[in-house]
Chains A and B, each alone.
Chain A
Amino acid sequence: MYEKFYRSLYRIRRVEEEIARIYTTDKIKSPVHLSIGQEAVSVGVCEALGRDDIVFGTYRGHALYLAKGGDLRKMIAELYGKATGCAKGKGGSMHLIDTDVGVMGMSAVVGTTIPLAAGYAYALKLRGKNSVVASFFGDGAVDEGVFHESMNFAALKKIPIIFVCENNFYSIHSHQRARQALCNIAERARVYGMPAERIDGNDVLRIYERVMKGVQEIRSGSLGPRFFECMTYRWMEHVGPNEDFEAGYRLRSEAEPWFEKDQVKRLGDFLDPEARQMIEDEVEGEIREAFEFAEQSPFPDDVDLYTDTFKEA
């Protein structure tokens, strides 16, 4: 199990480090919102899900896409704006999708995918499927009315959904305290009528364990939403490839305890050095290959501008 977790965590971290490195060359011509430091949430949750389960995410979606099994080559090609990308180069980093593995898309408008996940879960229930949906969003999305309306609907209809709030304390540069009178989001979710808990410490194993329990309960017939507020921390700037502790809205000292909680390092240390080295070598090879694939892929043809506005008969 540790090996599997480590592979996923390490892979996401290294992919995003490579994105940050390559970004300065302007080969990626669109905004990127990195999840470095927050990988544990996507990995912990997705390890508790199966291939037939569904996730909906946000513009900060690289980690979720990869943790759920999204195709790495297609993701990098998408960032490069290439025709071989997961959205044919038309969506970019903020709109990753891989329906083969249940990654149902990401949106750049905060909060918009929460009700989509609820609708999907409603349909799964109606159609007698045994899958669950996981809806990922940030603490900022909790400010939006649509979050609250979706909570109510999910509890009312007892749909098979896991809400995952990635609480990294910030919406861009606004601290949660500047936006919400009560900062315990799980507590507020509970009053809508669903089990809800806050998971501290960015702890990938704990997230996995708690979500796994929720998923199993749902699968064994105890339907209805479960809510997890996962405390985590964004190491990089809101958007872009750099750190931003000099910007003034937060201090490096606030981040340091979270650096200590680095789950990539933690899980890595659990492994014996040889096994670890093997995983790292394989992942590095895969990443190199994915970037080469993206580099060598063609840009979309001019006529592709007009395709996919509608599904053709």
Chain B
Amino acid sequence: MERILTYAEAIREATEQEMARDPTVILLGIGVDDFKAIYGTTKGLIEKFGPERVFDTPLSEDAMTGVAIGAALAGLRPIHVHIRMDFVLLAMNQLVNIAAKGRYMYGGAVSVPIVVRAIIGRSWGQGAQHSQSLHSYFIHVPGLKVVAPSTPYDAKGCLIKSIRDDNPVMFIEHRMIHYQKGHVPESTYTIPFGKARVLAKGDDITLVGISYMAVECLRAQKLLTEVGISAEVIDPVSLNPFDLDAIAGSVRKTGRLLVVDTAWVTCGVSAEVVAQLTERFQDSQQIRVQRMGFKPVTCPTTKNLEDLFYPNSQKIASAAYTLVHNNRKFWTPTHVEPPEIMEFRGPF
């Protein structure tokens, strides 16, 4: 029998197993000891490991990031949790100026093994300041690893890898995949960084989905089979390092690429992937490319505008269809609101 966990449970299990294995791992962040337990991802850990290794922090994201880095310099492996990626903006100075650069600017004398869990919010009108996906900010900076797994299996393996890595790792989680269920082995295992995962095989077009958009790309892939299009769906899993080879291999076969991000398009992951692939293929193969993400505005609260703002499986399928038909045929499947969005009422 397959062992099935949710994404949130997979994160909790990875944390628990690593904390049990390695006494230098600590867990801090606003609300990690709360009864809501960061959507269940830290449940029971304070009871198991005590209030010195698991602690709630003051609302001091900037200083606490520095504290985590300082503790890492002294030999601990802190996991710093942010219930919203928007709040990580307060910690940018420590992350960019110290965590990312520490090893290089001190000529290899130190390393900074911290994990920053940054959760992307969405749904139920969380609006302008509670819904941002800012992973591209971190990818831009050399010295920060960035991972954004989309399945429970990869979440567990990636988090364990992140904890064991001797460098700062940004671990990006989308709130809407916390509910996704999937096979997760009980034993500990690591997922290598820089290795993409093919979620579905296909020949006509390559769909690359970042984080939650991998789930939406899979839904789009099913919709596309109804109109005779076979889409390959790839989840990069790790955004820095990035497995360009896997995507290039797929696009060599399909000739078409649609990159869907759970973020704005400009200067984002989708822009980067398309640019790198175009560079690689410019002398060898004509390819068709497209990017999709948030509309280039602030996230509105009201539902009808929010629906326009976000990419979804319907929009992905429709864009893929047009790409495959070289802009000469159009089709839009009916939109079915996925259960995780339809049912979401918090906790926030």
Verify that A and B bind, or say they do not: yes
* In the complex, B303 has a CB within 8 A of chain A: yes
Which residues of chain B are near A143, meaning CB under 8 Å?
58-60
CB within 8 Å for A31 and B125 given contacts A90-B305, A299-B302: yes
Give the residue among A92, A140, A249 with the most B Cβ atoms within 10 A: A92
- Encode contact with B along A173-210: 1 for CB under 8 Å, 0 otherwise: 11000111000000000000000000000000000000
The answer to whether A173 touches B304, judged by C-beta atoms less than 8 angstroms apart, is: no
The answer, among B31, B60, B309, for a CB contact under 8 Å with A305, is B309
Of the listed stretches A60-68, A102-110, A125-133, name the one at the interface; the rest are far from the partner chain. A102-110
CB distance from A261 to the nearest CB of B (A): 26
- Measured in the bound complex, the distance between the Cα atoms of B30 and A29 in whole Å is 25
Q: Is A91 an interface residue (CB 8 A)?
A: yes
Task: Verify A95–B63 contact, CB threshold 8 A.
Answer: no
Q: Which of the residues B86, B297, B303 comes within 8 Å of A309, measured between beta carbons?
A: B297
Which B residues are in CB contact (< 8 Å) with A272? none
B285 contacts across to A, CB distance below 8 A: none
Grouping DSSP codes into helix (H, G, I), strand (E, B) and loop, the B interface class, with mixed when no group exceeds half, is: loop
Task: Identify the closest chain B residue to A302 (Cβ).
Answer: B308
User: Please, how many residues of chain B have a CB less than 8 angstroms from a CB on the other chain?
Assistant: 39
Kindly report which residue of chain A lies nearest to residue B295, judged by CB atoms.
Answer: A305
Whether A172 sits at the interface, judged by CB under 8 Å, is: yes
- A115 interfacial by beta-carbon distance below 8 Å: no
B56 touches A91 (CB 8 A): no
List A residues 156-175 near B (Cβ within 8 Å). Answer: 171-174
Beyond A94-B127, A109-B86, is A31–B346 a contact (Cβ under 8 Å)? Answer: yes
Indicate if the CB atoms of B309 and A111 lie closer than 8 Å: no
Per-residue CB proximity of A47-81 to B under 8 Å, as 1/0?
Answer: 00000000000000000000000000000000001
How does the 8 Å CB contact mask read for B278-297 relative to A, with 1 for contact and 0 for none? 00000000000000000111
Are the CB atoms of A144 and B125 closer together than 8 Å?
Answer: no
Q: Which residues does chain A contribute within 8 Å of B126, judged by CB atoms?
A: 30-31
The chain A residues found within 8 Å of chain B, CB to CB, are 29-31, 81-82, 89-92, 94-95, 107-111, 140-141, 143-145, 171-174, 178-180, 239-240, 247-249, 299-300, 302, 304-306, 309
List the 8 closest A-B pairs by CB distance, nearest first. A30-B125, A81-B302, A92-B301, A143-B58, A89-B302, A143-B59, A90-B300, A108-B129
A-B contact pairs, 16 of them (CB 8 A): A31-B348, A81-B303, A90-B127, A90-B300, A92-B127, A108-B127, A140-B59, A144-B59, A171-B30, A171-B59, A173-B34, A174-B30, A179-B58, A239-B347, A300-B300, A305-B305
Measuring CB to CB, which residues of chain B are less than 8 angstroms from any residue of chain A? Answer: 30-31, 34-36, 56-63, 86-87, 89-90, 124-130, 295-298, 300-305, 308-309, 346-348
